[in-house]
Amino acid sequence: NAGVTQTPKFQVLKTGQSMTLQCAQDMNHEYMSWYRQDPGMGLRLIHYSVGAGITDQGEVPNGYNVSRSTTEDFPLRLLSAAPSQTSVYFCASSSTGSSRGWQETQYFGPGTRLLVL
């Protein structure tokens, strides 16, 4: 299993550009989430999904769109990049179907470092 994969690892954008951060998981997890981590801070939830076709907003959703057409993939779209979106973005997946049930942790991808100039 590759677990949770994210691409790209690093990206530089100019203000106003758009891009999509890719996230994929091969564990058949129903839950997937996007977080951002600003320097010296914890992770903040952007958007999450409880299954294919179902998404909802987190704490900091403005400027981002998501969709989930398959169980495996959960891309994050930046509509018009702003310097305030410079951050490290983490994708995570989890499942309540394991033996640990709802106690199961989220599994995190390696992160994407985004710099908006």
Partner 1 sequence: AQKITQTQPGMFVQEKEAVTLDCTYDTSDPSYGLFWYKQPSSGEMIFLIYQGSYDQQNATEGRYSLNFQKARKSANLVISASQLGDSAMYFCAMREGYTNAGKSTFGDGTTLTVKP
CA 12, CA 71: separation in Å to the nearest integer?
A: 29
CB of 47 closer than 8 Å to CB of 57: yes
Q: Are 96 and 102 in contact (CB under 8 A)?
A: yes
Query: Is residue 60 within the footprint of partner 1 (CB under 8 A)?
Result: no
- State the minimum distance, in angstroms, from the CB of residue 15 to partner 1: 25
Q: Which of 10/15 has CB closer to partner 1?
A: 10
Question: How many other β-carbons are positioned within 10 Å of the β-carbon of residue 113?
Answer: 14
11 lines the binding site for partner 1 (CB under 8 A) = no
For residue 114, state whether it binds partner 1 (rule: CB under 8 A).
no
For 49, counting Cβ atoms within 10 Å of its Cβ (0-12 exposed, 13-18 middle, 19+ buried), the class is buried
Please, which residue, 14 or 40, has the CB nearer to partner 1? 40
Q: To the nearest whole angstrom, how small is the minimum distance from the Cβ of residue 103 to partner 1?
A: 6
**What single-letter amino acid sits at 64?**
Y
- Contact between 105 and partner 1 per CB under 8 A: yes
Nearest approach, Cβ of residue 74 and partner 1 (Å): 10
- The owner of tokens 């908006």 is 116
In the complex, the residues that contact partner 1 under the rule CB under 8 A are: 30-33, 35, 40-45, 48-50, 58-59, 88, 90, 92, 94-96, 102-108, 110-111
